[in-house]
Structure 1
Amino acid sequence: MRTRSAPASKSAKPTEQTQTKTLVSSEKPSKTFILPSSSSKNARLLSLPEPQSGKLARYFFCPKRGIYEFTVVAPPAHMARSILFTPQSRETAILSKGEDKDSVKPSAQGLITKKAELLIATPIDALFFMVSLLASSPKSGPSLFQPLDDIIDSHDDMPKHLRRILYDEVFRASLLLRVEAICDVVEAGDEKMFRFSEMKLVRELIAKAERMVERGLPVSLEERFVRQVLATPLMAVKREDVVISQEPSNESESVSTSEERQDSPSTLTTATTPSVSTPAGESTPAPQAAGEDSTFSDHVTRLLQISTALSFMKETYLPAAMAVRIDEILASAESPLDFNPLKDRLKEIAELRAQALASRDMSNFTRKRGLDDEEEDTRAEKKRRKDEEEKKTKAAESQAVKNLKKVNTTGMAKMSSFFAKAPPKKKDLRLLAHSLRNYNMAACYAVKRLSGFEAPPA
C-alpha cells in the first residue's frame, strides 16, 4: 500500500541552498542614468530632436530645472568592464535596534550590467532647440513679428514631446526668457511679439564662449586647438651667420674695470649687456617692450580660445546653414568681436612655418624629414590602434595557446611539413637515370648516322 509523505510544514526554516543568492546578469544591455537629485515629480525622459541634426534622441526634462542631455562616460573598447548594483542593505539598521536576525527579510538580488556605461544628465540651453523653430518659419517671412504660440503652431511636423515642453506652464516663463535673448521683442497689448535676430544670437554665443573661457577650457581642447596652433617653429640658424664679439685682452679688461668703477649705475647696466656684432649693411631691429608682447599674446590667445568655444557650439548645437551664417557675421565688419588680430597672428605663424621648412638644408639627405602636427597625430593614432588590436588578440587567446607559445620548439618539424608533397623515392630516381641514359645513346646514334658513320651492329 502506497502512502504519501506528509507535506513540509510552512514554519520550517529554509535550507542553506535556498538562502544563498546568485547574481544574475541582465538579459538586455541595461543603461545606467545619473539624474539630478533635486528634480521634480513631473520630470520625464523624452525623445526630442537634436538641435544640430534634427534626429530624435533621449533627453531628460524637468519643468523646474530645464532640459538635460546625456553624456556617455565609458571605458575604452579594449578594456571590457561591468557594473555591479546591489540594493541598500537594512540588516545593520535592524540589528542595531535589537531585533532578531531571523526576522530580517531577505533583500532583493543584485544586478550586473554588461556594459560599464554611465549616461550623465548635463544641462543644455533651451535656446538651441528654439533656433530652428524661430529662424525658419514656413508660413511667414523673417521680418514679421509673431506671438510665440503662432510660431509653434506653424510647424505641423513638430514631435509631440517637444510640443509638450513648449506648452508646459511651469517651464513657460524660463522658455520666454531664452526666446527674448535671440529675438527682437515688441509688446502688442498684453502679448509679446517675437522676431528672430541673427545678431542677437551671435552676441549670445559670444557671451557663452567668454564664460567657457573664464571657467577654463578642457585640457584636450586647450592643448590641441590653442597651444599647438599658436606654437611658433624653431628657425634653423647657421653657425657662420652669427658673429660674436671676441673677448677682450687682459689689459683692456683692467682698463674697463677701472672705468666701470667710476661710472654711474645707468652706465653699468648698459655695459653688462652682451654685445653681438651685426653684418655690415644690416640694421639691428629695435627691441620691443616685454609688456606689450605679453599683452598682445594674451589677447590673441583669448581670441583663439573664444573661437574654439564658438566652433564647438556651432558644430554641436546649431544647424549647418545657421553655422555658415554665423561665420559670415563674425568675418564681417558688424561682428561684435574683432578677430582680425587672431587672423593676422595665424597668418604670421603660417609664414614662419613655411620659412622654417624652406630653411632646411635639402642637400643633407642623412637627416630625417620633419613631421607636421597632422602626420604626428596620424602616426600616434595608428600606433594606438595597433596597440588596441594587440591587446584584443592577447585577451582573446586561451590559456592553452599562451602555454603553447612558451614551449621550446627548436629542432622540431613544423606542422606544414606534414602536409607537404612527399619527395621521390630511390626507385623512381633509378628509373629516371636509366631513361636519361637511353635518351643520350639514341641522340649519339642519330648524330653519327647524319655524319656518315655506319650504324652499330644490332
Structure 2
Amino acid sequence: MYICTPLDPLFVLLPRLFPAAAADAINRFLPVEDLFEEITTGAEGDWELVAKSQVAERRLAAVCESVDIGDEKAYKPSWEKLMNILDGKCVRMAKGGLPATMEEGFVRKPLTRPELEIRGVKKEDKDREMGGGGNTEAAVGVLPAPPDSQATRPRLSEASQEVTDLLRIRVASEFISNNYLSVSVAEALSDCLQKSHDFTPLDNYLAELVKIRQEAAAVRFHDHQIKRSHECEEEMVDRKRKRKKEEEETGGKKKKSVSRATRELQKVDKTGMPTITAFFGKK
C-alpha cells in the first residue's frame, strides 16, 4: 500500500469495526486475533497488511473496551472511545491552524466582515444652474442612505480567537468526515462535537455576518440606483445647456419648419403680382 503521508490505520479499520448496519456490529469481546479475523473476513484490499502492522493492535485498543482473559486481552468496539479519539483529532488539527489553503478558504473568508461605507452622493442644484449665469455656483446636497443600513447600527467587531478556533474545529471535523468516515460515524461525530463544544458564539457571529452582507448588498443596489439617477440628470442638464447655447448663437431665433409646397411657392416669380394684403384693403 503506497501513501504520500502517514496514515492512522484506525481509519482503515473503522468501516468494519463500526459498520452502518446494526446487524453487522460487533457486540462481544474477542481476542485480538479473532477480532482481526472478524473484521477482515471477506474484505478486499490491504486489510491483512494493516492487521499485521505493529500499530494496528495499539490503535485498535484506543477505540475498544478491553478485558483480560487469562494471559491475553479481549476487545469490543466502543462508540464512546471512538468519539473521544475523533474529537481529539479535530481539536489537534485545528490547534496549530489549518493548512494555508483551508485556512484562507474556510476560516478567514467566511469570518471576514464586509467593508460597508455609506457615502453621500453629491447632487447639483440643476434648476439654479440653468436659471443663472455662467458664474452661478452649484448648490450641493447629499442624498440620504437607506434608513436600515449599517450606518444606524453598531459596527461588528473582528472575530475573536474563540470564534476562530471553533470554526477551525468545525472545518476539521467536516474534512475528516468527508474523507475518512462513513456516514453513520460522521453523524455521530457531529453530535459529539455539539455536546463537547459550545458553538453558540460562532453561530451568532456567522448569523450577524449574514445580516451585514444582506445590508451591504442592499446599500450597493441603492447607490447604483442613485448613480443612475444622477447620470440621467446630468445628461438632461447637458442637453438643456447645449440647446440654450445654440439659441444664443442664432440670436434666439428658431428655424421654422417649411413644407415642400411653401418652398416651391417661394421659387415662383412674383414680379407684378399684388400681395395678398392688397385684396383686403379699403375700396
Fold shared by both chains (TM-score > 0.5):
yes
Is 1:345 matched up with 2:208? no
Q: CA deviation at 1:158?
A: 1.6
1:134 matched to 2:14? The reply is no
Q: Provide the C-alpha distance between the structure 2 equivalents of 1:200 and 1:129, rounded to a whole number of angstroms.
A: 17
Per the alignment, residue 185 of structure 1 pairs with: 66
From the superposition, tell whether residues 323 and 286 of structure 1 become closer, same or farther in structure 2 (CA, over 3 Å). closer
> What RMSD in Å do the two structures reach over aligned CA positions?
3.3
The corresponding residue for 1:144 is 28
Report the residue type matching 1:186 in the other structure.
Answer: V
Which range moves more in the overlay, 349-358 or 202-211?
202-211
> Does 2:175 align with 1:312?
yes
What are the superposed Cα offsets for residues 64-105 of structure 1, whole Å, 9 maximum, x if unpaired? Answer: xxxxx2xxxxxxxxxxxxxxxxxxxxxxxxxxxxxxxxxxxx
Question: Which of the numbers 47, 68, 77 marks the counterpart of 1:162?
Answer: 47
Confirm or deny: 8 A CA contact 2:15 2:182 kept in the other structure. Answer: yes
Flag the structure with more relative contact order, 1 or 2, with Cα contacts below 8 A and sequence separation at least 6: 2
How far apart are residue 157 of structure 1 and its match?
A: 1.3
Are the structure 2 counterparts of residues 231 and 161 from structure 1 closer, same or farther at C-alpha, using a change threshold of 3 Å?
closer
3-state secondary structure, aligned to 1:313:
helix
For residue 213 of structure 1, the aligned residue among 76, 90, 94 is: 94
- Tell me by how many angstroms 1:234 deviates: 2.5
Greater alpha carbon shift after TM alignment, 317-326 vs 208-217: 208-217
2:199 maps to amino acid: F
Q: Which secondary structure does the structure 1 equivalent of 2:198 belong to? A: coil
TM-score, length-scaled by structure 1 = 0.38
Deviations 1:397-439 (A, max 9, x none): xxxxxxxxxxxxxxxxxxxxxxxxxxxxxxxxxxxxxxxxxxx
Q: How does 1:403-422 map to 2 (within 5 A)?
A: none
Give the alignment partner of residue 325 of structure 1, picking from 165, 188, 212: 188
Code of the residue aligned with 1:185 in structure 2: it is S
Aligned equivalent of 1:355: 215
CA 1:286–1:367 in structure 2 vs 1: closer, same or farther (change >3 Å)? closer
Provide the rounded CA distance (Å) in 2 between the counterparts of 1:139 and 1:148. 21
Deviation at 1:364, TM superposition (A): 3.6
Aligned residue pairs total 196
Q: Which runs of 5+ in 2 are unaligned?
A: 122-151, 229-283
Structure 2 distance, partners of 1:158, 1:238, is: 66
Q: 1:184 aligns to what SS in structure 2?
A: strand
- Shift in Å at residue 139 of structure 1? 6.9
Question: 2: CA distance between counterparts of 1:122 and 1:141?
Answer: 30
1:123 aligns with 2:1: no
Query: Quick one: structure 1 residues 336 and 211, their matched pair in 2 at CA, closer, same or farther if it must change by over 3 Å?
Result: same
- 1:141, distance to aligned residue in structure 2 (A): 4.4
CA separation of 1:220 and 1:164: change in aligned 2, threshold 3 A: closer
Deviation at 1:302, TM superposition (A): 1.1
Instruction: Provide the C-alpha distance between the structure 2 equivalents of 1:200 and 1:311, rounded to a whole number of angstroms.
Output: 19
Shift of 1:344: 1.9
Q: Which amino acid aligns with 1:201?
A: L
Query: 1:236 touches 1:359 (CA, 8 Å); kept in 2?
Result: no
Tell me by how many angstroms 1:297 deviates.
0.6
Contact 1:138–1:154 (8 Å) recurs in 2: no
Which residue identity does 2:100 align to in structure 1? V
Distance 1:186 1:351, change over 3 A: farther
Match of 1:154, SS state, is helix
3-state secondary structure, aligned to 2:6: strand
CA-to-aligned-CA distance 1:365-385 (integer Å, 9 cap, x gap) = 4869xxxxxxxxxxxxxxxxx
Measure the CA separation in 1 of the matches of 2:24 and 2:109.
47
Could you tell me how far 1:347 is from its partner in structure 2? 1.5
Task: Show CA shifts across 1:34-64 (max 9, x none).
Answer: xxxxxxxxxxxxxxxxxxxxxxxxx23xxxx
Aligned pair in 2 of structure 1 residues 122, 348: CA closer, same or farther (>3 Å)? same
Q: Does 1:176 align with 2:57?
A: yes
Contact map agreement 2:87 2:193 (CA 8 A) in 1: no
% same residue = 29
Say which structure is richer in strand.
1
- Aligned partner of 2:78 in structure 1 is 197
SS in structure 2 of the partner of residue 209 of structure 1:
helix
- TM-score of the superposed pair, with normalisation by structure 2: 0.58
Q: CA deviation at 1:178?
A: 0.9
